[in-house]
Amino acid sequence: MNFTAIDFETANPARSSACSVGLIVVQNGKVVERFYSLIKPPTDDFSPFNVRRHRIRPEMVAAAPTFADVYPSLVEHIRGPVIAHNASFDISVLRACVDEYGIAAPKLDYYCSLRLSQAQWPDAPSHQLTSLAQLFGIPLVNHHNAQEDASACAHIVLRALHDQGLVSVKALASCLGVTKGRLAIESHTPCRSRRRNRGSGNEMPVQDERPAVQSTRLSGDVFLFTGLLDSMPRDEAERRIRKLGGATVTNVSGRVTIIVVGHEPGSKLSQAEARRRAGQPIRMLNEAEFLSLLEGTAHENC
């Protein structure tokens, strides 16, 4: 049971804008090290949306080390495979930050605790970090503090290992049909979920085999996307929203009630933030929160 859980927070939608990082090192099933640092991003551009989430403001990181300064300590603390909740985000932050400072990417294997939890507890009401922490009694008082989120991630994985009676993340992932992600100097292989074919033991790509559901939970909600999603093409995300009773638009307007923020978002994000400040009730969701919303809505109607 040796692994390292990691979590980044960013100043704005740019993945290279890391403003804090937290690590939890687990050895033999016990937390043996913790590491946390604020990070001074390359610019002082802090998105109001991000600040509301993690409450880190520009003046708090003015004297903090840069990512280049933090990086040696970061790598020194990593033991075993890296795990993050919605790892596509945290690994993309790591990749963007090393690129920003001209640092060679570390060689590491990683897994996504979101994908592991979805496979381990498919009937859970939600697989968001906060929801799983509440479900299993895992302390998470200060969500979006990087160290606390990394700690919750680590304990969720420990719970899955316990439930399966396994002692390694590699074995857990293999049992649950989740493939390993790998980061190297000039290559990157993402972590993915796969489903076993029970008849042959072979692995098959995950497909949504649930029948179409008629839900009204999203009725009245109008979704707008900005930036790229890691989990699916945008047209697939829009199709799922419409299937669950919601509507989608392509431009910011008074109709928008939810904006989903992927990586490298465009000007729609700042336009939506301006409308929020003017009083328009717009919820802002990151990709993990959006996926949990879809999952929870479909689950309620199965």
Sheet holding 258-261: strands in order across?
247-248, 222-226, 258-261, 283-286
Question: In this predicted model, what pLDDT tens digit does every residue of 192-228 receive, in sequence order?
Answer: 877 543 333 444 333 333 333 344 467 788 999 988 8
Q: Average pLDDT, stretch 70-96?
A: 90
Given a contact cutoff of 8 angstroms between Cβ atoms, the answer to whether 160 and 116 are in contact is yes
Band of the pLDDT at 100, cuts 50, 70, 90? very high
Comparing CA positions, the residue from 66, 75, 27, 77 lying closest to residue 43 is: 66
What pLDDT, on the 0 to 100 scale, is given for residue 82? Answer: 94
Query: Topology of 3-196 in CATH?
Result: Nucleotidyltransferase; domain 5 (3.30.420)
What pLDDT, on the 0 to 100 scale, is given for residue 217? Answer: 66
Question: In this predicted model, what pLDDT tens digit does every residue of 231-260 receive, in sequence order?
Answer: 778 888 898 888 888 899 989 998 999 999
- The Cα 46–Cα 59 span in angstroms is 10
Does the pLDDT at position 48 exceed 80?
yes
Task: State the angle between helix axes of 169-176 and 113-120 in degrees (0 to 180), rounded to the nearest 10.
Answer: 50
Does the pLDDT at position 56 exceed 90?
yes
Domain locations in the chain? 3-196, 222-300
Question: In this predicted model, what pLDDT tens digit does every residue of 120-170 receive, in sequence order?
Answer: 988 888 888 888 898 989 988 888 899 999 999 999 999 999 998 998 999
The CATH number of the domain covering residues in 222-300: 3.40.50.10190
Band of the pLDDT at 297, cuts 50, 70, 90? low
Specify the 3-state DSSP secondary structure of 35. Answer: strand
Does the pLDDT at position 296 exceed 50?
yes
Average pLDDT score over the chain: 84
Q: Taking the chain, what is the end-to-end CA distance rounded to the nearest angstrom?
A: 35
Given a contact cutoff of 8 angstroms between Cβ atoms, the answer to whether 41 and 11 are in contact is yes
